[in-house]
């Protein structure tokens, strides 16, 4: 069977096992001890057919864990579509996830990557996640702190990589007194154009969707997995040296000694926006996104990614890191 993936790559699974419940998951783990875990297929680049049994996590359901006058704790099963879940919370009047609108993938993979956009990351809104330990079949709940979140990192990408399968995630959301983050990118501009000075969470989400749709290709139309590279974090002293040569180079403060530089800007200024080799290339509107124009293979997209890394390093002396998982 062809493995579902947002790059639209024709990669096959020798053994495909859909998982609709924890019971099915445990049963499958009793038979297969080294699964390839698949969520929404959105944050991966598949360069070859997968010989491991592919567990496609399709658990569904949204439930209330508890609530107070100000907060609600919602548990979403791992197979819920992320964007649909975000929109569901907003339609209920809950705040917290609006900046994470229109990110492709499923709920269960969001803590793994600590997904983030427009000043908000999963670590800011996640209470805990439930998992099954692959080798012992025991259930374990990870608190936010135990997930060891960092920029596009978590314990599930580091120390415990390959040891746990996330089955659900619980989020702490606001019911009132929403803390909205509107300072990033073109958010204020879009809100201003719409005559909105005090947005609701849903109005902020709508603005972010508009911005993302203007820059990012729909994977159903043009294969991609969103941002392919992490925004590099560099020392302020190194940034200031670059600023002497490139006065317009943007940055976002990280701490007293480091700043984050937009990878898209570095790729664009390396002359690579719109670069294409065969059916693999850099998107013409957003240099952070690599695309499959139709018949590219995973190896060809990876070759473009490595070429981008080489060019940016040669021009700026900055080493880009992949945000996506390469298989």
Enzyme catalytic residues: 152, 227, 323
- Of 138, 109, 103, 139, the closest CA to residue 126 belongs to 109
The alpha carbon dihedral of 306, 322, 106, 100 has a sign of: negative
Rg (CA), the chain: 20
Residue 176 backbone phi and psi in degrees, to 5: -160, 175
Conformation bin of residue 259: beta by default, left when phi > 0, alpha when psi is -120 to 50: beta
Which residue in the block uniquely carries the two structure tokens 């972010």? 208
Enter the tokens of residue 316.
């700026």
* Spatial distance between the Cα atoms of 246 and 32, rounded to a whole number of angstroms: 53
Element containing residue 201 per DSSP (H, E): helix 201-215
């Amino acid at each position: 069977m062809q493995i579902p993936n947002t790059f639209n790559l024709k990669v096959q699974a020798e053994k495909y096992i859909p998982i609709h419940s924890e019971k099915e998951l445990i049963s499958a783990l009793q038979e297969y001890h080294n699964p390839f875990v698949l969520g929404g297929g959105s944050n991966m680049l598949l360069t070859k057919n997968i010989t491991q049994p592919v567990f496609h996590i399709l658990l569904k359901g949204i439930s209330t864990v508890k609530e107070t006058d100000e907060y609600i704790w919602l548990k979403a099963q791992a197979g819920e579509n992320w964007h649909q879940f975000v929109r569901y919370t907003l339609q209920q009047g809950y705040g917290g996830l609006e900046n994470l609108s229109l990110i492709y993938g499923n709920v269960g993979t969001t803590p793994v990557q600590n997904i983030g956009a427009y000043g908000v990351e999963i670590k800011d809104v996640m209470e805990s996640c439930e998992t099954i330990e692959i080798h012992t079949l025991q259930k374990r709940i990870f608190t936010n702190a135990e997930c060891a979140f960092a920029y596009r990192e978590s314990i599930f990408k580091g120390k415990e990589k390959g040891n746990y399968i996330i089955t659900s995630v619980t989020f702490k959301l606001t019911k009132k007194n929403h803390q909205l983050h509107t300072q990033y990118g073109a958010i204020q501009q879009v809100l201003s154009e719409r005559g909105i000075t005090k947005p609701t969470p849903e109005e902020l989400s709508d603005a972010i969707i508009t911005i993302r749709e203007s820059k990012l290709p729909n994977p159903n139309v043009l294969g991609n997995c969103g941002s392919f590279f992490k925004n590099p974090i560099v020392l302020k002293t190194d940034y200031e040296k670059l600023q002497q040569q490139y006065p317009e180079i943007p940055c976002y403060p990280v701490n007293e000694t480091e700043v984050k530089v937009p990878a898209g800007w570095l790729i664009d200024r390396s002359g690579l926006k719109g670069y294409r080799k065969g059916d693999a290339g850099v998107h013409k509107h957003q240099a952070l996104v690599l695309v499959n124009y139709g018949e590219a293979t995973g190896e060809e997209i990876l070759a473009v990614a490595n070429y981008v890394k080489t060019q940016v390093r040669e021009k700026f002396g900055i080493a880009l890191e992949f945000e996506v998982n390469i298989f």
